[in-house]
């Protein structure tokens, strides 16, 4: 980002509260909340329609052996005792044949011993071909249940447990509807196992009531008859773009109200993470849940936070084990979020001096981590007295050793590998030199032979170049003045994706096939379906296969 743009962003951050959630375009959003068909699973007719059977069993707490916390903060310490739930009935294929079979109309019956108590409801169902005259093929199907007092919902052996998720009934409060998407493109004959763990509560107040189900339904949403108007345009410069951006491709706006969105990464569990460095927050977006906070104070907690225009995280990626790796502006470091919640600092100093403010990052398939380190996260950028390194650089972290492998650019920003990892692309945020350099990558990870791959310095304005990504055919996508420039592997301009009134800062390929380009663009989050998939972290790519 330019100094002027950062200053404007800082002023905006001081004047406007960040939105907790944007305008989410989803069939579960308020303006489209009414299903096209509803199956009432608390009636015999409704349950029969989906060939369903309800079963019930009380659950109880049992004492088991369990290791204490160890030095690694995991259960690796001395032997101990703790409590667990029995039975563990959320797993796929659980045998509930010995459980009590209950009639759908009896879901409202009070069950359990009362006070602090727990229970399981299980349901197997099959998607019918039609509901009356309504055909189910291609629809989105949502299971919704309201349990008095609270519940967790397992589907086909899985329980959503993601930081920032809006599901998880115990956390949502008493009698909150739990909504779980069973299918987005339903096919008649699909079967699902649903396990609902019910809790009487609040636990700390020992309530004088019992467990029961208020409502249970399947909601069906038909595909939209008319697509919303595209939130941007496609400039087609070369016929080769037609294979990448199909005719009729639309730019969708998913959410807005942010301060400055950046650094998106798709998680193989089906959600997008992205930063708002101005708001010091990492957000999570999923089709079912919309936008929620994934990690607050994502880059800084200093007493002088108000001095920073972008104190929060910027670039995000995943390592081979699925651990989130974060470029933290304010803390001036690269960190990794471990599965047990502890933060590991991977790099914060080079030759004894603090890094500037790591901006973007990418893993090579062998686990080597590359990142850019301009000073744009510092309050006064190049002139900030906190700045300790004399130059901006591209760094390599491999086998615990940090090396600076390039320093030709004043504002190194976006970073991405070619599909074969022979080349590394790095963009430059500098109004006086708007270029992407291409480096040859040696076997030991060092960089050589920098050459100008893309140059739009002649374009007017004080904007430089931001995010860079590459698709599986080697085409390069660059955030440049006007939008997302798509370049052939030889550097030929094929076309530009232009978002209405905003410029995408960075992007990531998402969805199961990797053909959806998610774009973070200042105040909004967008996406477009492409005809080609993108290169993604190894873990995400493996999950897609």
CATH number at residue 194: 2.60.120.260
The answer to whether residue 272 is domain-embedded is: yes
The answer to whether residue 197 is domain-embedded is: yes
Specify the number of domains making up the chain: 2
CATH of the domain at 332: 2.120.10.30
The answer to whether residue 461 is domain-embedded is: yes
Question: Do 153 and 106 reside in the same domain of the chain?
Answer: yes
Question: Do 133 and 263 reside in the same domain of the chain?
Answer: no
Question: Any idea how long the chain is?
Answer: 545
Residue corresponding to tokens 């390929």: 509
Q: Name the pTM for this structure.
A: 0.80
The answer to whether residue 536 is domain-embedded is: no
Contact criterion met (CB below 8 Å) for 370 and 416: no
Taking only the tens of pLDDT, the chain with its 545 residues reads: 433 333 333 322 332 222 222 233 333 443 345 789 999 999 999 999 999 999 999 999 999 999 999 988 888 999 999 999 999 999 999 999 999 999 999 999 999 999 999 999 999 999 999 999 999 999 999 999 999 988 899 999 988 665 544 444 454 556 678 888 898 889 999 999 999 999 998 878 888 899 999 999 999 998 865 556 889 999 999 999 999 999 999 999 999 999 999 999 999 989 999 999 999 999 999 987 788 889 999 999 999 998 999 999 999 999 999 999 999 999 999 999 988 788 999 999 999 999 999 999 999 999 999 999 999 999 999 999 999 999 999 999 999 999 999 999 999 999 999 999 999 999 999 999 999 999 999 999 999 999 999 999 999 999 999 999 999 999 999 999 999 999 999 999 999 999 998 999 999 999 999 999 999 998 999 999 999 999 998 765 555 55
Question: Do 327 and 450 reside in the same domain of the chain?
Answer: yes
Distance, CA of 260 to chain centre: 16
Domain boundary among 461, 483, 505: 483
What Å distances lie between residue 378 and 308, 317, 387, CA to CA? 6, 22, 8
The answer to whether residue 494 is domain-embedded is: no
Domain boundary among 465, 483, 501: 483
By residue range, what is the domain housing residue 387? 3-25+259-483
Question: Do 181 and 304 reside in the same domain of the chain?
Answer: no
Q: How many helices (H) and strands (E) does the chain have?
A: 5, 39
Query: What is the largest distance, in Å, between two alpha-carbon atoms of the chain?
Result: 76
Nearest by Cα to 1 from 256, 231, 314, 295: 314
CA distance 366 to 396: 12
Question: Do 273 and 174 reside in the same domain of the chain?
Answer: no
Question: Do 134 and 104 reside in the same domain of the chain?
Answer: yes
Question: Do 294 and 202 reside in the same domain of the chain?
Answer: no
Question: Do 330 and 405 reside in the same domain of the chain?
Answer: yes
Domain boundary among 463, 483, 503: 483
The answer to whether residue 75 is domain-embedded is: yes
CA distance 369 to 199: 45
The answer to whether residue 181 is domain-embedded is: yes
The answer to whether residue 253 is domain-embedded is: no
CA distance 466 to 374: 12
Question: Do 183 and 200 reside in the same domain of the chain?
Answer: yes
CA distance 469 to 495: 15
CA distance 150 to 171: 8
Question: Do 188 and 318 reside in the same domain of the chain?
Answer: no
CA distance 161 to 419: 32
Question: Do 38 and 144 reside in the same domain of the chain?
Answer: yes
Contact criterion met (CB below 8 Å) for 82 and 164: no
Helix (H, G, I), strand (E, B) or coil at 391: coil
Question: Do 43 and 153 reside in the same domain of the chain?
Answer: yes
CA distance 181 to 194: 11
């Amino acid at each position: 980002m330019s100094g002027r743009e950062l200053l404007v962003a800082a002023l905006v951050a001081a004047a406007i509260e960040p939105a907790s959630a944007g305008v989410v375009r989803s069939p579960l959003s308020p303006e489209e909340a009414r299903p096209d068909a509803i199956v009432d699973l608390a009636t015999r007719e409704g349950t029969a329609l989906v060939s369903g059977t309800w079963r019930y069993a009380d659950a109880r707490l049992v004492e088991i052996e369990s290791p204490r916390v160890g030095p690694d903060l995991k259960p690796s310490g001395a032997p101990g005792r703790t409590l667990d739930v029995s039975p563990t009935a959320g797993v796929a294929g659980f045998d509930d044949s010995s459980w009590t079979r209950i009639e759908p109309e009896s879901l409202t019956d009070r069950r359990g011993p009362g006070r602090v108590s727990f229970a399981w409801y299980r349901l197997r169902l099959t998607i019918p071909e039609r509901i009356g005259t309504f055909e189910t093929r291609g629809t989105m199907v949502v299971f919704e249940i309201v349990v008095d007092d609270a519940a967790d919902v397992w589907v086909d052996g899985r329980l959503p447990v993601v930081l920032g998720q809006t599901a998880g009934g115990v956390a949502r409060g008493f009698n909150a509807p739990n909504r779980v998407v069973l299918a987005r493109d339903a096919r008649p004959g699909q079967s699902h196992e649903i396990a609902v763990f019910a809790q009487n509560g609040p636990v700390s107040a020992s309530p004088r009531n019992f467990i029961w189900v208020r409502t249970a339904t399947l909601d069906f949403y038909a595909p939209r008859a008319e697509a919303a108007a595209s939130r941007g345009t496609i400039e087609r410069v070369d016929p080769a773009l037609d294979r990448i951006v199909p005719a009729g491709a639309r730019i969708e706006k998913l959410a807005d109200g942010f301060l400055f969105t950046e650094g998106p990464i798709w998680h193989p569990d089906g959600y997008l993470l992205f930063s708002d460095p101005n708001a010091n927050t990492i957000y999570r977006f999923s089709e079912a849940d919309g936008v929620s906070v994934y990690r607050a104070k994502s880059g800084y907690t200093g007493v002088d936070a108000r001095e920073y225009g972008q104190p929060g995280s910027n670039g995000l990626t995943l390592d081979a084990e699925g651990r989130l790796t974060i470029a933290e502006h304010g803390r001036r470091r690269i960190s990794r979020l471990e599965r047990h919640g502890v933060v590991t600092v991977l790099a914060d100093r080079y030759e004894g001096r603090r890094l500037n403010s790591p901006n973007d990052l990418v893993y090579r398939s062998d686990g080597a981590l590359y990142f850019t380190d301009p000073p744009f996260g510092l309050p006064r950028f190049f002139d900030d007295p906190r700045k300790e390194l004399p130059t901006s650089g591209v760094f390599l972290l491999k086998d615990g050793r940090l090396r600076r492998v390039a320093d030709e650019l004043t504002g190194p920003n976006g970073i991405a590998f070619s599909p074969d990892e022979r080349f590394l692309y790095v963009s430059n945020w500098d109004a006086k030199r708007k270029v992407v350099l291409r480096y040859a990558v040696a076997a030991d990870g060092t960089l050589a032979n920098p050459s100008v791959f893309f140059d739009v310095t002649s374009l007017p304005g004080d904007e430089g170049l931001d995010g860079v990504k590459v698709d599986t055919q080697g085409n390069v996508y660059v955030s440049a003045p006007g939008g997302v420039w798509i370049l052939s592997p030889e550097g030929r301009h094929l076309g530009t994706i232009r978002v209405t009134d905003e410029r995408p800062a960075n992007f990531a390929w998402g969805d199961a096939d990797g053909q959806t380009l998610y774009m973070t663009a200042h105040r909004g989050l967008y996406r477009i379906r492409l005809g080609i998939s993108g290169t993604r972290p190894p873990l995400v790519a493996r999950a897609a296969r």
